């Protein structure tokens, strides 16, 4: 028995050959596992012994006792006998074991050891009340939700899980059933997963009162506000059922965390725009304080303009929306391509809040990108006054639609100065937008009208992977020429080390003398001469 694997032992336990009396001997040689607990509990006289093993399981394994109750569920045929039901006492024990960690956290939601060493990005997402195992168990017993939501010790955990998951899971299940060709036709307006009475029973947990006193409020208050807003998006009825509660919580969080105090973007802060957008969208949904809503508008006004790029035509077939949307190149559609419409979308939500000052919204409209105004006219579902204000913004006669249009060399050849067009692409805001700049750089590097000056303005990591060795060699020979100093082995070795250090710091060097785009080294990905030759570095 001690030499059998886990699967064999579980099968023997399910057959009754291995019993609870054999468990001590088994545990002397291996740790408990979910399959053994499930197999032992198939025999009525061993259910208590199986329950006693639950504390020996890892937290992520406990729910597997019920999930893997029927090991033949995927191979069972209609002729086979069905699996016996899960004993109620085992189900209750697993349910309690899965809900207890979240219930304990809610009693003492203090930062874990090592919190200060965690990055700001991780801190921003470390307060998720996930409880995936707890929700997996709750989803199996919806008839008990009302009872469990008022449980003296587990009730708060149940309320949080229902608010976070019930409606979302119901929507996923509905979409899954809709894809089944043999499934019944779904009603146009399906009933919500949570009844109004049950939703009211969950209101004590709605605004995450357990997290109100956490340290580092600039992070925790922002995260809590976003969590509450997502609950309202999942359960829109909450906006009416708990309006006063939501308004008070939103105002307290904005004030405590000083969320609307502007902080400048840091060089390596890639989440800056997303945070600002959430800090506009969430108060727009929850707040009733005009000053806070006006502050959210001011945050939007200070965001950088989007980089709207129309990609260069490609011979490679790409499955885009040409079949259903022949006019996919219009500004509003391009704005959505990289989710750059979220700024004007957030402004639309702010405008829909009756407490938002109209002047604050109109002030942001005046500084929108032309494509943003086009999106407002075409897709925004805002109040009439907002749409009228957007339509009334004057557009200069010589103003284009704000789109950086990348064209192929045939079109470039018709222009009197193709090189100037390429330079205008490099000078555009698109080279500062992480999702668009590679398109611009590829278009420039592949054009036959490019010059060495164009290539020097492109980051090394954009040039080398797709265009070496021809582009790299051109720059190498031009920069080194007949200079023995530039070709010197020691200098090249030093520069390779510098290039490696730059790479590890996440700041690859660029070519060219311009401090904005240029730097003095570029490591060639494919060696030109011997492996240790100085030729592996481009000066």
Quick one: CA dihedral 331, 337, 342, 348, positive or negative? positive
H or E stretch at 309: strand 308-310
Give residues with Cβ within 8 angstroms of 531, minimum separation 6.
none
Each of the 539 residues of the chain gets a pLDDT tens digit; together they read: 567 888 899 989 888 998 999 999 999 988 999 999 999 999 999 999 999 999 999 988 999 999 989 888 888 888 888 888 999 999 999 999 999 989 988 888 866 555 555 555 444 444 556 667 899 999 999 999 999 999 999 999 999 999 999 999 988 888 887 777 766 666 666 789 999 999 999 999 999 999 888 888 888 899 999 999 999 999 999 999 999 999 999 999 999 999 999 888 887 777 888 899 999 999 999 999 999 999 999 999 999 888 888 887 665 555 444 445 556 678 888 888 878 899 999 999 999 999 999 999 999 998 898 889 989 988 878 899 999 999 998 876 656 778 888 888 888 889 999 999 999 888 887 776 666 778 888 888 888 898 888 888 887 777 666 655 566 666 666 666 677 666 654 444 444 334 434 443 443 433 333 333 333 333 333 333 333 333 333 33
Q: What pLDDT does 82 receive?
A: 86
Per the CB < 8 A criterion, the answer to whether 37 and 31 are in contact is no
pLDDT of residue 507: 38
Query: Nearest Cα to 198, choosing from 135, 239, 149?
Result: 149
Q: Which residues are paired to 403 by β-bridges? A: 308
Three-state DSSP class for residue 36? helix
CA 277 to CA 296: how far, in whole Å?
A: 9
Q: Whole-angstrom Cα distance, residue 394 to residue 361?
A: 16
pLDDT computed for residue 186 by the predictor: 61
Q: Please tell me the predicted confidence (pLDDT) of residue 331.
A: 86
Could you tell me which of 90, 102, 123, 13 has the C-alpha nearest to residue 59? Answer: 102
Torsion over CA: 441, 446, 452, 453 (sign): negative
Contact 338, 435 (CB under 8 A): yes
The predicted structure's pLDDT at residue 113: 56
Strands 522-523 and 403-405: unpaired
């Amino acid at each position: 028995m001690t030499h059998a694997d886990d699967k064999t032992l579980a099968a023997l336990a399910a057959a009754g050959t291995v019993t609870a009396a054999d468990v001590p001997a088994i545990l002397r040689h291996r740790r408990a596992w979910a399959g053994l607990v499930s197999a032992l509990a198939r025999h009525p006289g061993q259910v208590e012994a199986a329950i006693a093993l639950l504390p020996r399981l890892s937290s992520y394994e406990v729910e597997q006792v019920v999930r893997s109750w029927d090991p033949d569920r995927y191979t069972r045929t209609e002729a086979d006998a069905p699996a016996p039901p899960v004993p109620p006492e085992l189900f209750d024990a697993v349910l309690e074991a899965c809900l207890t960690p979240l219930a304990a956290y809610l009693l003492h939601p203090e930062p874990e050891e090592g919190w200060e060493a965690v990055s700001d990005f991780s801190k921003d997402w470390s307060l998720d009340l996930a409880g995936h195992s707890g929700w997996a168990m709750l989803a199996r017993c919806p008839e008990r939700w009302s009872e469990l939501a008022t449980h003296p010790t587990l009730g708060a955990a149940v309320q949080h899980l229902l608010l976070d998951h019930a409606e979302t899971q119901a929507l996923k299940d509905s979409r899954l059933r809709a894809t089944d060709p043999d499934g019944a036709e779904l009603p146009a307006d399906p009933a919500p997963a949570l009844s109004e009475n049950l939703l009211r029973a969950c209101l004590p947990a709605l605004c995450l009162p357990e997290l109100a006193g956490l340290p580092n409020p600039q992070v925790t208050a922002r995260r809590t506000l976003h969590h509450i807003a997502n609950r309202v998006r999942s359960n829109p009825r909450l906006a009416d059922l708990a309006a006063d509660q939501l308004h008070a919580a939103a105002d307290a969080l904005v004030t405590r965390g000083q969320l609307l105090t502007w902080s400048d973007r840091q060089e390596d802060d890639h989440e800056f725009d997303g945070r600002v957008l959430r800090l506009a969208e969430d108060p727009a949904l929850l707040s009733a304080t005009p000053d806070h809503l006006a502050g959210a508008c001011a945050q939007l006004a200070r965001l950088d303009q989007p980089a709207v790029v129309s990609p260069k035509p490609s011979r490679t077939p790409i499955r885009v929306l040409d079949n259903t949307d022949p006019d996919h190149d219009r500004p509003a559609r391009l704005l959505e391509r990289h989710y750059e419409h979220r700024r004007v979308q957030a402004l639309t939500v702010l405008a829909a809040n009756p407490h938002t000052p109209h002047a604050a919204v109109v002030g942001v409209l005046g500084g929108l990108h032309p494509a943003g105004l086009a999106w407002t006219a075409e897709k925004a579902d805002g109040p009439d006054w907002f749409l009228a204000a957007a339509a009334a913004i004057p557009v200069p006669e010589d103003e284009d639609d704000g789109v950086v249009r990348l064209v192929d060399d045939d079109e470039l050849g018709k222009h009197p100065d193709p090189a100037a067009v390429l330079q205008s692409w490099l000078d555009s805001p698109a080279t500062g937008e992480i999702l668009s700049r590679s398109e611009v750089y590829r278009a420039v590097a592949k054009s036959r009208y490019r010059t060495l000056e164009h290539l020097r303005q492109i980051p090394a990591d954009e040039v080398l992977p797709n265009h070496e060795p021809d582009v790299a060699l051109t720059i190498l020979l031009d920069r080194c020429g007949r200079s023995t100093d530039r070709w010197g082995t020691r200098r090249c070795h030093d520069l390779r080390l510098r290039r490696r250090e730059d790479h590890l710091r996440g700041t690859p060097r660029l070519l060219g003398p311009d401090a904005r785009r240029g730097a003095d080294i570029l490591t060639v990905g494919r060696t030109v001469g011997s492996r240790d030759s100085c030729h592996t570095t481009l000066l």
